[in-house]
Structure 1
Amino acid sequence: MFHLMLQKILHKKWMAASLLIGNILLVAIAVSHPMYQEASRNRMLTDEFANYMKDNNAYPMIIDVEGLIRKNAGITDTERIRNLANTASEQFGIPETEKVCVRGLVSSVATPTAMYDRSSNELKLVIGSMSDIDKHSSIVSGKMYSNTITEDGYIEAVISQSAMTDSNLLIGEEMYFKSIKYAEKDLVKIRIVGVFTNSEDNDNYWVKSPSAYNNYLFIDPALFEQGFMANNTKKYNVNEHWYTLFDYTALKPYQIDNIIEITEQALRDNNNVYSNMATPDYIELMKDYAVKEKQISVTLAILQVPVIVLLCAFLFMISRQMLEMEENEIAILKSRGAGRLQIIWLYFLQSSFLALISFLAGLPLGKLICKVLGASSAFLEFAAKRNLRVEYSAEVLYYGLAAVLVSMIMTLLPVLKRSTASIVSVKRKRQRSKKPLWQKLFLDVIMLGVSIYGYYTFSSQEDELLVRVLSGQSLDPLIFLSSSLFILGAGLFSLRLHSLFVRLLYNIGKHSWKPASYTSFLQLIRTGGKQAFIMVFLVLTVAFGMFNTTIARTILANAEKNNDYNSGADIVMKEFWKNNAVYASHDPTQEVELSYTEPDFGKYNDLPGVKSMAKVYKSENTVVSTGKQEKPVTILGINTKDFGETTTLDRKLLDYNYREYLNVLSKNSDAVLVSINFRDKLGVKLGDQITYTITDDIKTGSGTGIVYGFFEYWPGYQKNKIIISSDGTSKSEEQYMVVAHLSAVQEKVGVFPYEIWMNMGGNTESVYSFIKDKNIQVTKFVDAVENKEAISREALFQGTNGILTMSFITILLICGIGYLIYWTLSIRSRELLFGIFRAMGMGKNEVIHMLVNEQVLTGVVAIIFGLVIGWISSRLFVPIIQIAYSATDRSLPLELITRDSDIARLLIIIGIVFAACLAVLIRQVYSMKISQALKLGED
Structure 2
Amino acid sequence: MALWTMIFRKMAKNRWLQLNLWFGLTICVALFSSMPLYSHAILQRTLIKELQQLQKDQNIYPGFVRVATSISPGERTPEQVRGMIAKADLYMDRTPERFGLDTQSYLVARSTQSFRVFPADGSERELKEINVSGSFRAFTDMEKRVRLIDGRFPDPARSDGIYEAVVTQKFIIDLKRDLEHEFVYTNKDTGEKIRVLVVGLIESGSDNAYDQFNVENYNSSFYIPFERFEQDFVQKEGKLKLSSIIWQYSLNYEQLKIDNIANFTGQSQALSNYFTMRLGIASVDIPAKMPIQSYMDKKEKLDIMLWSLYSPVMFMLAFYLYMAANLIIERQKTEISVLRSRGASRLQIMLVFTAESLILGLLALLTGPFIGVYFTKMLGAANGFLEFVQRSSLEVALNSASYKVAVAAVLGSIVLILIPAFLATRISIVGHKQQLARSSKMSFWHKTGIDLILLAISIYLLVGFNKRLDELKQLALDPNALQVDPLLFFMPALFALGCGLLLLRIYPWFIKLIYWAGRRWWTPALYSTLLQISRSSTQYLTIKVFLIMTVAMGLFSANAARTINGNMEDAIHYHVGSDIQLNIHWDNDAPPPAPAMPGAPSGGESAEDAASKPKVVTYTEPSFIKMTELAGVDKAARVFRKNDANFSASGGDSTATLYGIDTFDFGNVVWMRGGLLDHHINSYLNLIAPDPKAVLISRSIADKYQVKPGDPLSVKWSGLDYAGFTVYGIIDYWPGWSPLPVGGIPEDQDEENVRLPNLIVGNLSYIQNHLALEPYEVWVKLKEDATSKVIYEDLEKKEIPVEGLVDANQQLIRSKNDPFRLAINGVMTLGFVISMMISFFGFLLFWVLTLAGRTLQFGILRAMGISFMQVIGMLLSEQLLTSAAAIVMGVWIGNTVSDLFVPLFQLSFSASEQVPPFQIIHQLSDYVQLYSVVGVMLLIGLLVIGIRVSRMKITQALKLGEE
Structure 2 length as normaliser, TM-score?
A: 0.88
SS in 1 for 2:675: helix
Q: How does 1:310-325 map to 2 (within 5 A)?
A: 310-325=316-331
Deviation of 1:861 after TM superposition, in Å, equals: 1.0
TM-aligned CA distance change 1:626 to 1:793, over 3 Å = same
CA-CA distance at 1:860 after TM superposition:
1.3
Q: 2:773: which partner in 1?
A: 751
Q: Does 1:526 align with 2:545?
A: no
1:598-631 deviation digits (Å, cap 9, x = unpaired) = 4454443442101122232223233333474332
Q: Are residue 706 (structure 1) and residue 715 (structure 2) matched?
A: no
Q: 1:902 to 1:416 in 2, by over 3 A?
A: closer
CA distance in 1, matches of 2:746, 2:205: 39
Distance 1:772 1:144, change over 3 A: farther
SS at match of 1:377: strand
Encode CA deviations 1:461-489: one digit per residue, 9 max, x unaligned: 21345567533766322332332221111
2:759 counterpart of 1:737: yes
Contact 1:344 1:415 in 2 (8 A): yes
Residue pair 1:625, 1:690 contacting (<8 A) in 2 also = yes
Q: Which residue of 2 aligns with 1:493?
A: 502
Q: Counterpart of 2:434?
A: 428
Counterparts in 2 of 1:594-743, with a 5 A limit?
A: 594-626=617-649, 628-695=651-718, 700-709=719-728, 710-723=730-743, 734-743=756-765
Deviations 1:418-448 (A, max 9, x none): 3344333333332232422111101111111
Segment drifting more, 123-132 vs 484-493: 123-132
Partner Cα separation in structure 1 for residue 636 and residue 462 of structure 2: 46
How far off is 1:253 after superposition?
4.4
Aligned with 2:281 (options 275, 286, 289): 275
Distance 2:381 2:592 in 1: 57
SS of the equivalent of 1:475 reads coil
Aligned twin of 2:353: 347
The residue type paired with residue 538 of structure 2 is G
Secondary structure of the structure 2 residue equivalent to 1:103: strand
Report whether the alignment pairs 1:838 with 2:862: yes
- Letter matched to residue 768 of structure 2: Q
> Taking structure 1 as reference, are residues 465 and 618 closer, same or farther at Cα in structure 2, changes over 3 Å only?
closer
Cα 1:31–1:465 change in 2 (3 A) is: farther
1:654–1:519 Cα change, 3 Å: same
Output one character per residue of 1:812-846: Cα deviation in whole Å (capped at 9) or x when no partner: 22221121111111212222222222221122222
Q: 1:183-213 CA distances to partner (integer Å, 9 max, x unpaired)?
A: x98734334246455232x6133364x5545
1:165–1:868 Cα change, 3 Å? farther
Which amino acid is the alignment partner of residue 732 of structure 2? E
Q: Equivalents in 2 of 1:365, 1:225: separation in Å?
A: 59
Q: Specify the code of the residue in structure 1 equivalent to 2:567.
A: N
The one-letter code matched in structure 1 to 2:737 is: Y
- Show the 5 A alignment for 1:500-579: 500-579=509-588
Distance 1:576 1:63, change over 3 A: farther
Q: Distance in 2 between matches of 1:490 and 1:627?
A: 54
Q: CA 1:96–1:527 in structure 2 vs 1: closer, same or farther (change >3 Å)?
A: farther
1:471 and 2:480 are equivalent in the alignment = yes
| Paired residue type of 2:563 | T
Q: SS of the residue aligned with 2:636?
A: strand
Taking the aligned partners of 1:938 and 1:63, their CA distance within structure 2 comes to 82
Aligned counterparts of 2:841 and 2:542: Cα–Cα separation in 1? 12
Q: Which residue of structure 2 lines up, in the alignment, with residue 295 of structure 1?
A: 301
Q: What letter corresponds to residue 849 of structure 2 in structure 1?
A: L
Counterpart of 2:447 in structure 1 is 440
Q: Deviations over 1:561-594 (max 9, x none)?
A: 1111111121112234454444798999959774
- Structure 2 residue 31 is the aligned partner of structure 1 residue 29: yes
| Residue 825 (structure 2) aligns with | 801
Shift of 1:303: 1.9
Code of the residue aligned with 2:37 in structure 1: it is M
Q: Distance in 1 between matches of 2:177 and 2:685?
A: 60
Give, in whole Å, the separation in 1 of the partners of 2:102 and 2:745: 35
AA at the equivalent of 1:663: N
Query: 1:70-109 CA deviation, whole Å, 9 max, x = no partner?
Result: 4777559978986885565555555554443333334444
Aligned residues of 1:567 and 1:716 also touching (Cα < 8 A) = yes
Amino acid at match of 1:741: N
| 1:529 counterpart letter in structure 2 | T
> Relative to 1, partners in 2 of residues 1:165 and 1:803: Cα closer, same or farther, differing over 3 Å?
farther
What amino acid sits opposite 2:736 in the alignment?
Answer: G
Q: Are the equivalent residues in 2 in contact too, given 1:499–1:528 (CA < 8 A)? A: yes
Alpha-carbon separation, structure 1, partners of 2:750 and 2:175: 52
> Structure 1 residues 937, 238: CA separation in 2 closer, same or farther (over 3 Å shift)?
same
**Among residues 128, 150, 158, which one is paired with 2:158 in the alignment?**
150
Partner SS, residue 583 of structure 2: strand
With over 3 angstroms needed to count, the CA separation of the structure-2 counterparts of 1:233 and 1:144, relative to structure 1, is closer
Q: 1:217 to 1:258 in 2, by over 3 A?
A: same
Q: Find 2:805's aligned residue among 778, 781, 805.
A: 781
Contact 2:472 2:911 (8 Å CA) reproduced: no
Rounded Cα–Cα distance in structure 1 between residues aligned with 2:177 and 2:795: 33
| Contact 2:712/2:726 (<8 A) preserved | yes
CA contact (8 A) 2:815 2:821 kept: yes
Q: Which runs of 5+ in 1 are unaligned?
A: none
Q: Which residue of 847, 853, 861 corresponds with 2:871?
A: 847
- Partners of 2:177 and 2:322 in 1: CA distance: 85
- The alignment covers a number of residue pairs equal to 928
Following TM superposition, by how much is the alpha carbon of 1:174 offset from its aligned partner in structure 2, in angstroms?
3.5
Q: Output the amino acid matched with 1:863.
A: I
Range that drifts further, 472-481 or 497-506: 472-481
* Separation of aligned partners in 2, 1:687 and 1:335: 93
Deviations 1:695-750 (A, max 9, x none): 5xxxx4444231323221111111114427999x9998621122233334334444
SS in structure 1 at match of 2:743 = strand
SS at 1:569 equivalent: coil
**Separation of aligned partners in 2, 1:596 and 1:84:** 58
Q: How does 1:443-462 map to 2 (within 5 A)?
A: 443-462=450-469
Distance 1:671 1:508 in 2: 67
Task: Note if contact 2:169-2:201 (Cα within 8 Å) is conserved in structure 1.
Answer: no
Q: Is the 8 A contact 2:112 2:240 kept in 1?
A: no
Task: Name the SS of the counterpart of 2:539 in structure 1.
Answer: coil
Cα offset, 1:531, TM superposition: 1.9
What SS does structure 2 have at the residue aligned with 1:611? Answer: strand
Counterparts in 2 of 1:205 and 1:823: CA distance versus 1, 3 Å: same
Instruction: Provide the rounded CA distance (Å) in 2 between the counterparts of 1:564 and 1:354.
Output: 51
Residue 789 (structure 1) shift: 2.3
Larger deviation, residues 627-636 vs 862-871: 627-636
Residue 320 of structure 1 and its aligned partner are, at CA, apart by 2.3
State how far apart, in whole Å, the 2-side matches of 1:576 and 1:243 are: 38
Structure 2 residue ranges without an equivalent (≥5) = 595-607
Measure the CA separation in 1 of the matches of 2:893 and 2:337.
Answer: 42
User: 2: CA distance between counterparts of 1:285 and 1:455?
Assistant: 36
2:926 is equivalent to residue 902 of structure 1: yes
Instruction: State the one-letter code of the partner of 1:874.
Output: S
Percent identity over the alignment?
Answer: 30
Tell me what 1:249 maps to. Answer: 254
**Does structure 2 conserve the Cα–Cα contact (< 8 Å) formed by 1:470 and 1:730?**
no
Write the letter of the residue equivalent to 1:16. Q
Aligned to 1:44: 46
Match of 1:150, as an amino acid?
R
